């Protein structure tokens, strides 16, 4: 992600999450994905939240011409839950995305998460590497 505008986009995404009755803990990412670590309220549907965040952040990117062509997020998203005792570890992991992805692609990372959390999946529906 372009450094000059990625921090601005992460603030926009965080604000969208907060505006939808959730609490943002950290937003960070690299060229092909973004992690949003949030406190989710039980009254909020994850699907509805992500639909709103993806739609409004795409609009923001396009309205502000942050990239030369029309932007759209990939279909889908992944959600994983963590206990309160893991908050610091997850925060640091998300904070260090650039360093982490020098060693592992997003697809490799996502497949590792699915295996770690014992989530059955169909490879046809797993995110594709963009690079």
pTM here? 0.86
Phi, psi of 24 (to 5 degrees): -80, 135
Q: Does domain 3-125 have CATH number 3.30.70?
A: yes
Angstrom CA distances, 74 to 22, 34, 39, 52, 125, stand at 23, 11, 23, 14, 11
Question: What does the pLDDT look like over 25-66, one tens digit per residue?
Answer: 999 998 888 999 999 999 999 999 999 999 999 999 999 999
């Amino acid at each position: 992600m372009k450094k000059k505008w990625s921090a601005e986009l992460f603030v926009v995404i965080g604000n969208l999450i907060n505006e939808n009755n959730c609490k943002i803990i950290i937003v960070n990412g690299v060229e092909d994905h973004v992690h949003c670590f949030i406190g989710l309220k039980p009254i909020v549907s994850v699907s509805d939240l992500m639909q709103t965040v993806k739609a409004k952040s795409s609009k923001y990117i396009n309205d502000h011409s942050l990239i030369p062509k029309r932007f759209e997020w990939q279909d889908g998203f992944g959600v994983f839950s963590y206990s309160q005792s893991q908050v610091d570890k997850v925060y640091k992991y998300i904070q260090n995305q650039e360093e982490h992805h020098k060693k592992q692609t997003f697809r490799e990372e996502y497949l590792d998460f699915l295996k770690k959390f014992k989530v059955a999946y169909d490879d046809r529906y797993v995110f594709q590497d963009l690079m």
